[in-house]
Amino acid sequence: MFYEVRTYRLKNGAIPEYLKVVGETGIAIQKRHLGELVGYFYSEIGPINEIVHIWAFASLNDREERRARLMADPDWQAFLPRIRDLIEVAGNKIMKPAAFWSTGGSPQG
């Protein structure tokens, strides 16, 4: 299993609008293509104006195919302008769970 951790720093004050439009439209489109959403968070303490969402994929090829389908979806292309100007910085990383950690969220053994 691979986890994609996407982090966005939004413009000051943009979190409510971002969460509104993603909740109304964007998340359904993403789930349709990307599959397993592990979590979707916004910062309360620490770095401010930060969004983090985590998606699980069976493999890197699975991720690549699913993201390509998302990017090709006309609904997603129509949605992107609604959030593009709210995001200042975007980051992405791929994580693998440690051998002793189960995918259910607790240590094995």
Are 21 and 105 in contact, with CB atoms under 8 Å apart?
no
DSSP state letter for 11: P
For residue 101, what pLDDT is reported? 78
Partnered with residue 40 across adjacent β-strands are 53
> What local confidence, expressed as pLDDT, does residue 105 receive?
55
Mean pLDDT of the chain, nearest integer: 91
CATH ID of 2-95, from 3.30.70.100, 3.40.50.10260, 3.30.9.10, 3.40.50.300: 3.30.70.100
* CB-based contacts of 93, cutoff 8 Å, min separation 6: 4, 5
Q: How confident is the model at residue 103, as a pLDDT? A: 60
Distance of alpha carbon 47 from alpha carbon 50, whole angstroms: 7
pTM of the model: 0.86
Give the start-to-end residue ranges of the domains of the chain. 2-95
